[in-house]
Chain A
Amino acid sequence: MASISSSYNPREIDNTGDIPGRRAPLITGNQTYTSVTEMVCRVAEDPQPRLWWILFGFSSLTATTFLMLIVFLIYKGVGIWGNMSPVFWAWPIVNFVFWVGIGHAGTLISAILFLFRQNWRTSINRAAEAMTIFAVICAGIYPGIHVGRAWLAFWLLPYPSLNLWMWPQFRSPLLWDVFAVGTYASTSLVFWYMGMIPDLATYRDRSKSPLRRFIYGLLCLGWTGSSRHWLVYEKAYTLLAALAAPLVLSVHTVVSFDFAVSQLPGWHTTIFPPYFVAGAIFSGFAMVVTLLVPMRAIYKLENLITLRHLDNMNKIILATGSLVGLAYGTEFFMAWYSQNQYESFTFINRAFGPYWWAYWIMVTCNVISPQLFWFKWVRTNVVAMWVVSIFVNIGMWFERFVITVTSLSRDFLPSSWGYYNPTMYDGLMFFGSFGVFLTLFLLFCRYLPTIAISEVKGVMSASDHAEHQQAEVLAELQGKEPKHVGHAH
């Protein structure tokens, strides 16, 4: 069984071409149910590669630094950050929106692509969902520690705050945010967990040690794979997907309300909800590519996470990146078309004011770099796509920086203009949040099923009846024109 993947060179078959009516196989290498189980379970069962330990050592150190900095922040106060009049919403909110945005890919892949019957999602949804939850954890930390008195952060919830018996103000977008992000985090968590139950049962049944069997046995809640259970399970999964699809769109809409409902030029626009959602999907898919490209190489999962999966994701990055570019253009157009002098000033100030460098980094990374994905060789080259995905991550952070800081630093009153400078703690804490993210992701690879085994098998079974057709396509791919199948028509 183990020989299947080792004898196979993923570059041999190009399954990235989509011939309408004759789909190339989703997973390659003549996989059987047994070999799929083997390939995924091996990730958690085999000793981890040295690279895992190096990365884990580095990331856990960074995460610990982050936690210590949080303790220092609570002890000393938010004054250690560079937040200063007039920019009181600085890196903390930028990092919050950055991480929440990244957290959109997972649920989008599991919910929206599920409803659209995009079977290629099965190989990547689990890792993307895990990434979503870890990103939302990183995001949730920032508002919690930015409230000043972090030990009273629970006043964000509908709680009659001490001595005043005062409830939260339900007209505030910041409160909507608490509900939206809270619902998103908890729903994503149960969605992720429910999806893992059958795979945790697989882990349990393959466990050699009693302790491992006991722990996975507890986690999978005694799953047997009963068809009566599967039927309810699939219904619940469909319901969750149908519920999570509007939810994922609502979350970044509500995050954009934090800005759009205010009166500040550059924030007070109706384009923000769709613009933010497009940006969130864009950054989320970029982060999935950033994580999956090394992961499939380290754990030799190229047969399950094939070039076709990466190619599809890159197409989504290209589409959403262009949408984001369109949104930037629309903002400028509206600034001119509205004939509002404050609005016009804000946008000219963004591109040519003191923060011009941030603006042009944003445009380069978000609008120009994904255009490379028009070329198929970039879309199917792992190194190239990884580099572009990193650029997109950088660009999307700068987008939030530009929106937050340029609008705040120069508003209606020139006498109160200022220039924002971050401190060492801003930088270290942002860096530290990556440590938390990476640590959680590495632990996820180490202990939990990184690929939805049962869903991949389900897709294999569904395509069984088209076996003949697939063999034909495979023969065509391997035989005649292996590299140019996309241009055959």
Chain B
Amino acid sequence: MNNSEHKLKSNKEPRPPKACGWMAEFENEHDLLHAAEKVRDAGYTKTDAFTPFPVHGIDHALGIKPTILPFIVLCAGLTGLCTALLMQWWMNGVDYKYIISGKPFGITPASIPVSFELTILFSAFTSVLGMLALNGLPKFSNPVFTSAKFDRATNDRFFLYVDATDKYYNRESVRELLSSVDANSLDEVMEDSTPSEMPRAILLGALLLVLAGLIPSAIVLNMRSSFSDLPRWHVFFDMDFQPKKKPQQTTTIFKDGRSMRPQVPGTISRGQLEQQDPFYLGYDPMKVTSLDTDKQIYVSAVDSTAASPSLDATVQPPAASPAGGAPNLPFLDKLPIEANEENIKLGKTKYEIYCSACHGYAGFGDGLVAKRAASLAQDTWAPPSSLHLDRVQKQPVGQIFHTISKGQGKMASYASSITPQERWSIVLYVKALQRSRNANIDDVPVEQRGSLTEPTPSQTK
């Protein structure tokens, strides 16, 4: 604010500007100090000096009291320390516990750096903001700025000021006092009479800026509180779109144009053995000629390109099941395990655990469960087959294995309870049982034939 402006503005004002006090200008800090002491000794307290740099001794010369800023900063520093400790304790020890090498949660020596930094941060900002607050800054309108001479207060001149609000203030006596000191000049400071209202244009501009600033948050709030069918708006893609091919897509990289690649010949996938090896199936899948459940499983499991030539030509409607739903499959007619004593014993054990409850110890279908069901005479009960029936006797070993594995009629699958090896052993034992029911004298070793007795009625049943 310079003088000419001030005069222009003040012409519009109806009353002349009020005087705020006297201001004396000095050449150097020594003259200022002398004058300040004089003014202080005269009893004035509403005084101030304006200097380009802090003049030492001026506080004493003017009677200025020390500032309380250090105590404010101390409080801020302690606040910063507590904030840091609480923050670390709560964030890492309570709200989201990090388990690191079994170390204790909450405050540890690792909390020191952050606590130190926040103590400094709070103190430093409080020093600056506290300094501004205690000095009443920012303050852009000040009576001292009405004088053009005052521009040198930040350059090379020293000013002493006595304010009109001082209780001993008298316009003439202060002027006399300041005239008696060795001042360059003495001026009366006038109040800043420029209009204090904000110009309407600035207010309007500020209002528009505030409103414009609210637009993004309004958009975000609207989006968060409403639903949309559109895909997410990707400001940053993160990893949502990756340059990669998914199954069933086309590609130009490979000759066949498919993004999926066939397996390398000879690859055995996990679980494939169980679906391809006769040992696990009881039949040879490579010889399957009719379309049925097992074949479908098989086809889906085996790589189509490797198996299709032999299969495509032989697709047929499912064959009628000859024996109560048993599938027409190329069952093995030779046991894949050795018929030795060990396997027979294993088969007997497992047969007696799993099969005898229904089929009976000798395989006549007279197990305890069957007897009990027969005594209850329930309509829904389908009695277990005797293993010595003609059609069962004719079954290849693979089919018996298949029956154990998949179940038949009311009989459930035992694949989850009995391992393939044990199932084959059971088959071996069943075959032995069947043979024993139809044995003739030739089956008995010659040296033991003499010990045979006449059959009892129960044995011929």
Contact A33-B155, Cβ < 8 Å, known A167-B96, A243-B124: yes
Residue B291 lies at the interface, judged by CB distance under 8 Å to chain A: no
Contact A221-B128, Cβ < 8 Å, known A166-B96, A202-B155, A206-B151: no
| A225 to B58 CA separation, bound complex (whole angstroms) | 12
Question: At the interface, is chain B mostly helix, strand, loop or mixed?
Answer: helix
Shortest Cβ distance from residue A32 to the other chain B in the assembled complex, whole angstroms: 7
Residues of A within 8 A of B117 (CB): 176, 179-180, 182-183, 247, 250, 254
Residue B253 lies at the interface, judged by CB distance under 8 Å to chain A: no
Instruction: List the B residue with the shortest CB-CB distance to A214.
Output: B140
Residue A80 lies at the interface, judged by CB distance under 8 Å to chain B: no
Residue B132 lies at the interface, judged by CB distance under 8 Å to chain A: yes
Residues of A within 8 A of B95 (CB): 165, 167
Instruction: List the A residue with the shortest CB-CB distance to B84.
Output: A179
Is B121's CB under 8 angstroms from A167's CB?
no
Interface residues on B, range: 35 or more
Is B153's CB under 8 angstroms from A176's CB?
no
Residues of B within 8 A of A224 (CB): 50, 142, 144-145, 153
Is B154's CB under 8 angstroms from A175's CB?
no
Is A461's CB under 8 angstroms from B131's CB?
no
Shortest Cβ distance from residue A5 to the other chain B in the assembled complex, whole angstroms: 16
Residues of B within 8 A of A231 (CB): 54, 58-59, 64, 66-67
Residues of A within 8 A of B144 (CB): 224
Is A232's CB under 8 angstroms from B69's CB?
yes
| A455 to B131 CA separation, bound complex (whole angstroms) | 18
Instruction: List the A residue with the shortest CB-CB distance to B114.
Output: A179
Instruction: Name the one of A190, A230, A236 contacting B69, with C-beta atoms under 8 angstroms.
Output: A236
| A231 to B156 CA separation, bound complex (whole angstroms) | 19
Residues of A within 8 A of B140 (CB): 217-218, 221-222
Residue B425 lies at the interface, judged by CB distance under 8 Å to chain A: no
Complex interface residues of chain A between 207 and 235 (CB less than 8 A to chain B)? 217-218, 221-235
Contact A233-B54, Cβ < 8 Å, known A167-B91, A240-B128: yes
| A149 to B240 CA separation, bound complex (whole angstroms) | 13
Complex interface residues of chain A between 150 and 200 (CB less than 8 A to chain B)? 151, 158, 165-171, 173, 175-176, 179-180, 182-183, 186-187, 190-191, 193-194, 198
Complex interface residues of chain A between 13 and 58 (CB less than 8 A to chain B)? 32-34, 37
Contact A243-B56, Cβ < 8 Å, known A171-B98, A205-B155, A225-B153: no
Interface residues on A, range: 35 or more
Residue A201 lies at the interface, judged by CB distance under 8 Å to chain B: yes
Shortest Cβ distance from residue A463 to the other chain B in the assembled complex, whole angstroms: 12
Is B128's CB under 8 angstroms from A194's CB?
yes
| 18 further contact pairs, Cβ within 8 A, besides A169-B100, A221-B138, A221-B140 | A33-B156, A171-B103, A171-B110, A176-B114, A180-B113, A183-B117, A187-B125, A194-B128, A205-B150, A205-B153, A218-B140, A221-B137, A229-B137, A230-B53, A232-B69, A232-B134, A235-B70, A457-B53
Binding site for B on A (CB under 8 A): 32-34, 37, 149, 151, 158, 165-171, 173, 175-176, 179-180, 182-183, 186-187, 190-191, 193-194, 198, 201-202, 204-206, 217-218, 221-236, 239-240, 243-244, 246-247, 250, 254, 257, 453-455, 457-458, 461-462
Top 8 closest A-B pairs, CB basis?
A221-B138, A236-B131, A167-B91, A33-B156, A205-B151, A176-B113, A230-B54, A458-B53
